[in-house]
Amino acid sequence: MKIDKKDIQRAEIFKVLSDPNRLQMIRILYQAHRELTCGEVGEKLDLSKSTVSYHFKKLRKVGLTNTRKEAQIKYLSLNMDTFEKYLPGFLAVL
């Protein structure tokens, strides 16, 4: 039996979400209902901008977040399409 491509992607997503800081970041973005900067997220978690940036890079690589850069500021948001496709209902239980 072949493994479904969606299941492979889900497994990658779950690996990334196994870090509690990343789960908190997803929760913060979801509850904000708007784009946030790395600095804003870092303040809420008491993490440095570089640490937040590292975690968001992991989240972005599996498609869970979007990053928009304006000048030197990075704005972060959830990629709702990925959540709907691979993790329907996940955000509702955060």
Residues 10, 86 contacting (CB under 8 angstroms): yes
CA atoms of 57 and 15, how far apart (whole Å): 14
pLDDT by position in tens, the chain (length 94): 888 999 999 999 999 999 999 999 999 999 999 999 989 999 999 998 889 999 999 999 999 999 999 999 989 999 999 999 999 999 999 8
Looking at domain 5-93, its CATH class is mainly alpha
- 25: burial class by Cβ within 10 Å (0-12, 13-18, 19+)? buried
Tell me, yes or no, if the pTM score tops 0.75.
Answer: yes
Q: What residue segments make up the domains of the chain, in order of their start? A: 5-93
Please choose, from the candidates 59, 86, 91, 78, the residue with its C-alpha nearest in 3D space to the C-alpha of residue 5. Answer: 86
